[in-house]
């Protein structure tokens, strides 16, 4: 669950809804802003309508650790409209660099999608997302190169709303390359991609985030989400059939082996085929709790196995060319991947030596069987003593952690020490019979837990001996 979703759920049942402070302009407020008092669970007015909100106010809140402010529920529709208009101003701000512009716009856009996921029947929730799609189409038409930086090719985390945002952006881009003379279809591709997974709101989060193989009953629930999304959007009314088809059919395969209905090529619209390509690309390339992002070019190789059977060959080819060219133009958009320093064996760290683990990649083209792990993972529970490595030097101060999941290539730890993606740690892992296994690892993913602990996915890496 993302931080915005957690904040929103915490506010449910009250008359206040959370908004990121980054979504506020430095101008005279058109909304009443409240701060939440954690000790009392109450809300106090911070700034009222008509009062300026300055950069100093913003900085002061950030320094206090405030990420969200709250507005009265009755002002929320007005806020959503203002937010879409604000994004247009930010997009054209010449002072913003590509990465800063993308970060701000993606944060605000994800919030709009999360609100639609939380309650698609709320007044204006779906319309805010489709308005966002229309805005994306306008930006793409004006400057495709500038717009392309809103697509996070492989560095993002795989939360539902983030995934929907990336798929929406990708669907619009891909459709524009396939049908450059059909701007209405491009616009609908944006809208459909942004809404395609809305049916996941009815799938338990424990299933969506489950690391291991799904039980048959859990898999059936996953298979229902396209149909559920189709029902939600159909009941909403007023949405174009292209959007509905993308939502219903983005997991169907050309050869009829997909779900939920086993539709074949002749029954699948171009927009649904486009969504299928971008959806699986994003699902594989995004970072997961137990591993970092899969390099985009590696992801494209995986998708190529399904060309003509799972995926429309022309759509996949166009997407492959687009991603490849984007990386050629700016290699920094792909993560730097280390070959790592894997463990030789798990025997000395696990109480019961695992059976059947494999060093081989087991990627397959079928949605259910696509594996995003290089090495088999195994549950564990043993203490770890960790220290940060800064500028190649290990800090003297150490902190405690507990290993929760282990593979030959990495480990998942839980700790009350704040860790961030990209940081490098020295790990002393308590092995069997009193021995210690040392490894250097890079943090590739972090999730903040409800109790204040951090759950981090780490990849073993190699550093020169003289640097440690």
Please check whether residue 28 is in contact with residue 52, taking contact to mean a CB–CB distance below 8 angstroms: yes
Judged by DSSP in three states, 161 sits in: helix
pTM of the model: 0.66
Q: pLDDT at position 290, please?
A: 42
* Domain ranges in the chain with CATH number 2.40.10.220: 338-468
Task: Point out which residues pair with 160 in neighbouring strands.
Answer: none
- The phi-psi region of residue 403 (left if phi > 0; otherwise alpha if psi is between -120 and 50; otherwise beta) is beta
- Nearest C-alpha neighbor of 377 from the set 403, 402, 415: 403
Instruction: Say if strands 436-448 and 454-461 run parallel, antiparallel, or are unpaired.
Output: antiparallel
* Domain ranges in the chain with CATH number 1.10.3210.10: 124-333
Q: pLDDT at position 211, please?
A: 57
Q: pLDDT at position 292, please?
A: 54
Neighbours of 395 (CB within 10 A): 12
Neighbours of 327 (CB within 10 A): 17
Q: pLDDT at position 360, please?
A: 34
Q: pLDDT at position 187, please?
A: 97
Domain 124-333, CATH? 1.10.3210.10
In sequence order, which residues have a C-beta less than 8 Å from that of residue 286 and are 6 or more positions away? 154, 156, 157, 158, 162, 163, 166, 293, 294
Residue ranges in the chain modelled with pLDDT below 50? 1-13, 290-291, 337-339, 353-373, 464-468
Q: pLDDT at position 467, please?
A: 35
Q: pLDDT at position 400, please?
A: 95
Give me the residue label for tokens 């997974």. 197
Judged by DSSP in three states, 284 sits in: helix
φ and ψ at residue 92, rounded to 5 degrees:
-95, 5
Range 338-468 classified under CATH 3.40.1190.20: no
Listed in sequence order, the DSSP H helices in 49-159 are 55-63, 76-91, 98-118, 125-142, 144-148
């Amino acid at each position: 669950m993302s931080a915005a979703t957690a904040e929103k759920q915490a506010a449910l049942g009250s008359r206040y809804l959370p908004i990121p402070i980054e979504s506020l302009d430095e101008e005279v407020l058109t909304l009443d802003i409240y701060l939440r008092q954690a000790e009392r669970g109450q809300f106090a007015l911070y700034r009222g309508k008509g009062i300026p909100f300055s950069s100093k106010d913003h900085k002061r809140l950030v320094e206090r650790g405030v990420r969200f402010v709250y507005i009265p529920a009755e002002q929320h529709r007005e806020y959503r409209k203002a937010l879409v208009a604000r994004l247009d101003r930010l997009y054209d701000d010449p002072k913003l660099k590509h990465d800063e512009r993308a970060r701000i716009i993606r944060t605000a856009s994800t919030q709009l999608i999360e609100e639609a996921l939380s309650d698609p029947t709320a007044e204006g929730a779906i319309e805010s997302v489709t308005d966002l799609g229309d805005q994306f189409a306008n930006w793409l038409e004006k400057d495709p190169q500038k717009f392309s930086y809103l697509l996070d090719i492989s560095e993002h985390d795989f939360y539902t709303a983030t995934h929907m945002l990336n798929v929406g952006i990708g669907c619009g881009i891909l459709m524009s390359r396939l049908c450059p003379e059909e701007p209405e279809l491009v616009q609908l591709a944006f809208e459909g991609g942004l809404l395609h997974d809305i049916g996941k709101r009815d799938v338990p989060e424990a299933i969506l985030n489950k690391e291991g193989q799904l039980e048959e009953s859990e898999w059936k629930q996953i298979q229902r989400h396209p149909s559920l999304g189709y029902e939600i959007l159909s009941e909403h009314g007023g949405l174009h059939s292209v959007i509905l088809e993308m939502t219903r059919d983005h997991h169907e395969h050309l050869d009829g082996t997909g779900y939920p209905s086993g539709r074949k090529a002749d029954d699948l619209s171009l927009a649904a085929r486009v969504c299928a390509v971008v959806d699986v690309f994003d699902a594989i390339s995004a970072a997961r709790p137990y591993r970092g992002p899969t390099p985009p070019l590696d992801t494209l190789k995986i998708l190529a196995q399904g060309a003509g059977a799972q995926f429309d060959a022309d759509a996949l080819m166009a997407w492959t060319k687009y991603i490849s060219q984007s990386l050629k133009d700016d290699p920094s958009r792909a993560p730097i991947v280390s070959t790592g320093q894997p463990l030789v064996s798990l025997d000395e760290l696990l109480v019961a030596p695992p059976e059947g683990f494999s060093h081989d990649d087991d990627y397959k083209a079928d949605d259910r069987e696509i594996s995003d792990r290089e090495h088999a993972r195994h549950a564990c529970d043993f203490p770890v003593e960790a220290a940060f490595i800064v500028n190649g030097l290990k800090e003297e101060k150490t902190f405690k952690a507990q290993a929760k999941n282990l593979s030959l290539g990495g480990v998942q730890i839980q700790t009350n020490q704040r860790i961030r993606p990209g940081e490098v740690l020295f790990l002393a892992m308590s092995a069997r019979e009193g021995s210690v296994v040392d490894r250097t690892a890079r943090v590739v993913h972090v999730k903040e837990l409800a109790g204040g602990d951090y759950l981090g996915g780490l990849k073993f890496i190699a550093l020169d001996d003289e640097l440690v």
